[in-house]
Structure 1
């Protein structure tokens, strides 16, 4: 999907959809499947929930309006009442929604810019509305929202290298899994696989928090340091990166495995696979692998494993390839 700022027509479409769902969810024949579809729609964009709540307020206002006295036959009166209510609701909508959006922005609830980016076949560099640049690894996806008090990125999956435009009064916050990375302007890399996140700092400083409930209580990173956390970690684990660290080689289209155990290498390999590679057992995970590989040819790496390591491949019931260590023969006494 391409980078995208919502146009006026798209804002109008969201408002129309919110009105539709407000009507359907209060209808007697609204089915459970419709409600599930609504939940999916509401969670797809922060403005969806906001516009729906605003529409509920409009519905309450319209419901409290007095009904006109009947002066013509019933059918015609009902039609006039319906159109009058629709007209009033439209007028209220025209007044309330811009005001609600204005108040939402100033309260820091609603962004005035929303962008979505992903990378599928190629490593991709994108520019955010604030001027920051982001390099996306294959299979990565993120969103950018500009709020009054902060710039916020949500890394939905994959890996991204950030060159953040400096703005001390408007912090830049990256949400990854349950953690937060907070900066004002710097260069750093965030890698996320399942519930594991690793942050590598190249320039400047960042504040890393692993707990969404305690976002302000993070650990300070300086250049050549990294932080790693998983879901449930109270604080990140901090370490120094080695001079020969090649974890950012993906920016040149390479995956470098420097004598890694398979248990450590598989998360790096799996981010480029449609179905994750699995290990048969711990002994298989202790086998080491090294080499430099093209990130677009990781399927070939997997197929070559039995030729370069003492392993063989099987397939699980779910269709995942499984790496098995070849049993070592016991010498005869």
Structure 2
């Protein structure tokens, strides 16, 4: 895998759905402008995920899109059997054909989960409404967690570290069992087994079995005094909340509910165990167990502090 492609993967994970106020926006724009290869590789990720409209636009990206459109037009004009064969590969197949690397996009919809065994024996358990991309090379095994939550049971390989890039931070391991959760404005890493190194633009620390860390939007790392096992409960049809704020609860429930749940600022912290097949009963009971008000707002359910 080329260095430009590795860099593009990291930037895509960090910058998707961000706006002009993102603290690394200037650095990202400078990287894009530095090389046509940077723009081409970044645009490839946008095309693969059909997500160009949600990526922060810049003139450099607009130029890259136009260049790729022009290239496609020239390819059509050339025509012939070669074009037919490439089109036969499909969108993802063409992408892999071009780059010659083992790559695999995985995605789940609301309410569904996915367990996948990778070619090195590692396993990924993708929670509902989540997406990631597997990128395996000769010197490292890289995962881009683009949205949601995933558990990883990593096969040990001293020659190729296993790296999860989740935007706010990068998680590096050799062999372990851990969960990475993208929550609103933060990232959480929970370790059940092994040793994990978490690195943000500001800090780096190591986590051992039973430890949990949260990465804030500004890159600060904070250890949490909660059970690491909580994060693995979704694999067994449950959600476990321990001193969870309303934003965490709303994000977790929305992965398993067609009508999204949103959180208003403030409100109490909650300890609860929720069965995934009984989310509605939990929501109905919330106002009776905590000072929380439920309000329907169009298609969304709002959780907020009771007056």
Interval of TM-score (by shorter of Structure 1 and Structure 2): 0.5 to 0.7
Give the direction of change, closer, same or farther, for the CA distance of 1:110–1:228 in structure 2 (3 Å limit): farther
Superposition deviation, residue 111 in structure 1: 5.2
State the match for 2:146 in structure 1.
156
Structure 1 CA distance, aligned partners of 2:79 and 2:294? Answer: 65
Q: Residue 184 of structure 2 contacts residue 248 of structure 2 at CA under 8 Å; is this kept in 1?
A: no
Partner of 1:126: 116
Query: For each residue in 1:182-202, what CA deviation from the matched residue of structure 2 results, as whole angstroms up to 9, or x when unmatched?
Result: 112211111112332111112
Tell whether the 8 Å contact from 1:177 to 1:231 is kept in structure 2 after alignment: no
Q: 1:30 aligns to what?
A: none
Q: CA deviation at 1:161?
A: 1.1
How far did residue 324 of structure 1 move? 4.6
Larger radius of gyration: 1
User: Secondary structure of the equivalent of 2:181?
Assistant: strand
Let me know the Cα RMSD of the aligned residues. Answer: 4.0
Post-superposition offset of 1:112: 1.8
Bigger relative CO (Cα 8 Å, ≥ 6 apart):
2
Inter-CA distance 184–110: structure 2 relative to 1 (3 Å threshold): farther
CA contact (8 A) 2:168 2:187 kept: no
* 1:260-315 per-position Cα deviation (integer Å, ceiling 9, x unaligned): 45455334334433454334552xx12x5443211243234223334444544323
User: Which among 173, 177, 185 is matched to residue 195 of structure 1?
Assistant: 185
Which of 194, 210, 215 is equivalent to 1:204?
A: 194
Number of corresponding residues: 237
**Structure 1 residues 132 and 266, CA gap change in structure 2 (3 angstroms):** same
- C-alpha displacement of 1:254: 0.7
2:303 aligned to which of 323, 326, 332:
323
Give unpaired runs (5+ residues) of structure 1: 1-38, 63-82, 95-103, 328-333
Is 1:273 matched with 2:262? no
TM-superposition CA deviations, 1:54-108 (whole Å, max 9, x none): x95xx7xx9xxxxxxxxxxxxxxxxxxxx9x778xx7xxx9xxxxxxxxx99xxx
Structure 1 distance, partners of 2:286, 2:251, is 16
**CA distance 1:249–1:42, shift in 2 (3 Å):** closer
With the length of structure 2 as denominator, give the TM-score of the two structures.
Answer: 0.62
Partner of 1:115: 104
Alignment deviations for residues 120-179 of structure 1 (CA, whole Å, 9 cap, x no partner): 344331111222111122222211111232111111212111111111111211111232
Please show how residues 251-290 of structure 1 align to structure 2 within 5 Å. 251-258=235-242, 260-262=244-246, 265-282=249-266, 285-286=267-268, 288-290=269-271
Structure 2 partner of 1:140 = 130
Match of 1:33 in 2: none
| Unmatched segments (≥5 aa) in structure 2 | 1-41, 50-63, 87-95
Partner of residue 238, structure 1: 223
Structure 1 counterpart of 2:210, from 224, 235, 238: 224
Residues 166 and 260 (structure 1), Cα distance of their counterparts in 2 relative to 1, 3 Å cut: closer
SS class of match (1:198)? strand
User: Whole-Å Cα distance in 2 between the matches of residues 261 and 116 of structure 1?
Assistant: 31
